[in-house]
Amino acid sequence: MARAIRTQVAIVGAGPAGLMLAYLLHRENIDSVVIENRSRDYVTHRVRAGVLEQGTVDLMAATGVGDRVKREGLIHHGIEIRFEGEGHRIALSDLTGGRAITIYGQQELVKDLIEARLETGRPLWFEVSEAHIEGIDAQAPLVRCVKDGERHEIHAEFIAGCDGFHGISRESLPAGLRRVYEREYPFGWVGILAEVAPSSDELIYAYHDRGFALHSLRTPELSRLYVQCDPHDTIDQWPDARIWDELHQRFAMPGGWVLREGPIVEKSITPMRSFVAEPMQHGRLFLAGDAAHIVPPTGAKGLNLAIADVRDLAASLVDRFRHGRSTALDGYSRRRLQHVWKVQHFSYWMTTMLHRFPEDRDGFQRQLQLGQLRYLVGSRAAQTSLAENYVGLIESGPA
Ligand code: FAS
Ligand code: PHB
């Protein structure tokens, strides 16, 4: 016999999307239950994104979960694009009326939101298994799952699928309704965390004949770096020495810019894909974040898009519960997909401009990329377009 629990919104997944949604709903006295199949330790140590858009930080500050990001986050007002041995600064804030990015590890945001959730005393279940979504076409959907060896039924009015690319929610939409758009890129990224002071105050995106490289950071003592690799590479093909050697070559500047090395404390390979599943809602089920879309990380958008989804979904659910109005909820997928595709395009644009494509045998694409880069660094209009996308587009929410 399963144990039954009743709530207003059942949230599958305790990543940035699920946790932020639960937080925003609780602030409006809307109850939720959050289930997560990994352990708390796992989700708080998973190294992923590092760049927060202005809108993400503003939301955290405005809703009372921004104290630590304001204290510890590193505000950046520009990025560098480096190619042919020269660095070109894109003055993000000058070009966007003062908007900026903040460097703050995704796992730090997850820790902040878990703390906030636990303070509410409302359910946040880790290490849940066998989750299954039912009844999304009815008035009484439910999520079945197993927790501590016991079967549970979470009866809710709405279900939020925030369980990422490999979750169960997307597949819970009727197959005949689902339309998927996907591009897999012919490369991946080797990502490292190195215990060494960053070699640059700002992020450096490097285009090089050997492939793309990115210099980022987490704290004044911790560097985050990426190097383009073959999509089928495994991490044991990338010993530390090879990673540093490729980074030195791809960032090299005749003026002798120095890349500092240090102990690598984490390394992993991230595949590259663009992915959108439409629609993002059906019946009582709403998808948010990676459950609905994936962008190549070149534009630093994945996490921020997830937060933008749940900001809209939370406001739409508040409208429904507080005023009995469903108009905002009914338009959720349409509104979000308009923003998602703008961000998909920007991420695709950054990715195809900055990576070497293995099939570019005659060098035609390389010449196009160099032409694009030279135009970019010589045009205020082109830089403004990059800047307003990078700091985050200002999108209208539910009316
Ligand atoms: P998430 O995947 O973060 O969270 C989903 C949660 O649901 C997970 O905790 C998962 O364990 C849980 N879950 C899955 N199935 C479940 C089930 N059946 N039941 C219960 N829970 C379930 N974005 C950037 O902007 N910059 C980057 O550099 C960057 N690097 C990345 C590297 C990697 C390896 C990956 C995978 C992603 C990266 N991303 C990056 C994108 C990433 O940051 C996502 O956009 C972000 O985590 C999206 O958040 P969520 O939608 O909450 O999904
Ligand atoms: C990161 O710091 O992890 C990061 C920064 C910018 C990106 C991707 C990842 O485009």
Active site residue 297: yes
Mean pLDDT value across residues 226-232: 98
Say how many Å lie between the CA of residue 168 and the centre of ligand 1.
13
Please report which ligand is nearest the Cα atom of 129.
1
* Residue 113 near ligand 1, beta carbon < 6 Å: no
pLDDT band of residue 139 (cuts 50, 70, 90) is confident
Q: What is the per-residue pLDDT for 354?
A: 98
Q: What is the per-residue pLDDT for 399?
A: 67
Active-site residue (options: 147, 215, 301, 355): 301
Say how many Å lie between the CA of residue 310 and the centre of ligand 1.
14
Mean pLDDT value across residues 98-102: 98
Strand order in the sheet with 203-207: 86-90, 79-83, 203-207, 213-219, 222-229, 179-194, 264-278, 293-294
Amino acid occupying residue 321: F
The gap from C-alpha 332 to its chain's centroid, in whole angstroms, comes to 19
Q: What is the per-residue pLDDT for 98?
A: 98
pLDDT in tens, 238-277: 999 999 999 999 999 998 799 999 999 999 999 999 999 9
Q: Kindly state the tokens that stand for 165.
A: 């690319």
pLDDT band of residue 397 (cuts 50, 70, 90) is confident
Rounded to an integer, what distance in angstroms lies between the CA atom of residue 285 and that of residue 157?
9
pLDDT band of residue 214 (cuts 50, 70, 90) is very high
pLDDT band of residue 222 (cuts 50, 70, 90) is very high
Mean pLDDT value across residues 69-85: 97
Match 């996308």 to its residue by tokens. 389
Which residue lies with its CA nearest to atom 29 of ligand 1?
49
Say how many Å lie between the CA of residue 216 and the centre of ligand 2.
6
Mean pLDDT value across residues 348-352: 98
Active site residue 104: no
Please state the pTM of the whole predicted model: 0.97
Active site residue 166: no
Strand-pairing partners, residue 194, are 223, 264
Which residue lies with its CA nearest to atom 47 of ligand 1?
303
Rounded to an integer, what distance in angstroms lies between the CA atom of residue 69 and that of residue 71?
5
Backbone torsion region of residue 283, taken as left when φ is above 0, otherwise alpha when ψ lies between -120 and 50, otherwise beta: left
pLDDT in tens, 152-209: 999 999 999 999 999 999 999 999 999 999 999 999 999 999 999 999 999 999 999 9
Q: Kindly state the tokens that stand for 1.
A: 């016999």
Q: What is the per-residue pLDDT for 75?
A: 98
* Residue 302 near ligand 1, beta carbon < 6 Å: yes
Strand pairing of 9-12 and 158-161?
A: parallel
> In the chain, pLDDT over 70 holds for what percent of residues?
100
* Residue 340 near ligand 1, beta carbon < 6 Å: no
**Hey, which bits of 230-297 come out as E strands?**
264-278, 281-282, 285-287, 293-294
Active-site residue (options: 16, 141, 198, 297): 297
Strand pairing of 32-35 and 124-125?
A: parallel
SS3 44: helix
Contact of 65 with 113, CB cutoff 8 Å: yes
Which of 225, 226, 269 best tests ligand 2's pocket when mutated (most atoms within 8 Å of CB)? 226
Rounded to an integer, what distance in angstroms lies between the CA atom of residue 244 and that of residue 192?
10
Active site residue 205: yes
Please report which ligand is nearest the Cα atom of 272.
1
| Consecutive H or E run containing 391 | none
Q: Could you tell me which of 279, 331, 310 has the C-alpha nearest to residue 12?
A: 310
Amino acid occupying residue 1: M
How far is the CA of 172 from the CAs of 33, 64, 252, 253, 307, in angstroms? 18, 33, 49, 51, 22
pLDDT band of residue 60 (cuts 50, 70, 90) is very high
Mean pLDDT value across residues 102-122: 97
Backbone torsion region of residue 68, taken as left when φ is above 0, otherwise alpha when ψ lies between -120 and 50, otherwise beta: alpha
> In the chain, pLDDT over 90 holds for what percent of residues?
95
